[in-house]
Amino acid sequence: MNSELATTQENQAAKEEKTYRKPQYVVHSEDNAYRLEVHLPGVPKDGARITLDGNLLNIEAAAVEVAQEEWKTFRRERAEGDFRLNLELNVDIDENEIKAKVEDGVLTVNLPLAAKAAKRTIAIE
């Protein structure tokens, strides 16, 4: 009986857990910076939230529902759930200089390398 109870509770926990969809993203390497492009179709300009915790970059955005309640669904290919992307940074980023914007459903994050990780030309004596 105890195990039965446990499974019920587990099921409830699973139901309450939110599902997220992982957005597509591209990382471009630039001089002393990385440019990250994340596809967030439907997300308005102020709809994305970016947090940097240590070397973990977290991007979240609420999905925008276009379909109205009373519409019948004939076909559904688009993934459901809010957007969430977790990326681990393996280089030092200048946290204060991170710039981001959302345009046409694409989030662009500019991640400048920290001074000590930046590319340096070494003069030969």
Partner 1 sequence: MKLVKRNTWPSDPFFEMDRLFNRALGGSDLWPSAFKTATHRDFPLDVYGDDDHYYVTAELPGVAKDAIDLKVENSVLSITVNVEDKSESGSSKRSMSRSITVGDDIDIEGVSAKLENGMLQVSIPKAEERRPRKIAIA
Query: Could you give the CA distance from residue 69 to residue 113 in angstroms, rounded to a whole number?
Result: 46
CB of 45 vs partner 1, minimal distance in Å: 8
C-alpha distances out from residue 107 to 8, 15, 32, 59, 74, Å: 40, 30, 20, 10, 30
State which residue, 53 or 70, has the beta carbon closest to partner 1: 70
State which residue, 3 or 19, has the beta carbon closest to partner 1: 19
Query: Could you give the CA distance from residue 56 to residue 34 in angstroms, rounded to a whole number?
Result: 15
State which residue, 51 or 68, has the beta carbon closest to partner 1: 68
Query: Could you give the CA distance from residue 34 to residue 89 in angstroms, rounded to a whole number?
Result: 10
The footprint of partner 1 on residues 5-64 (CB under 8 A) is 28-29, 37, 39-45, 47, 64
Q: Which residue has the tokens 């993934």?
A: 79
The footprint of partner 1 on residues 59-118 (CB under 8 A) is 64, 66-68, 70-79, 102-106
Query: Which residues would be at the binding site for partner 1 (CB under 8 A)?
Result: 28-29, 37, 39-45, 47, 64, 66-68, 70-79, 102-106
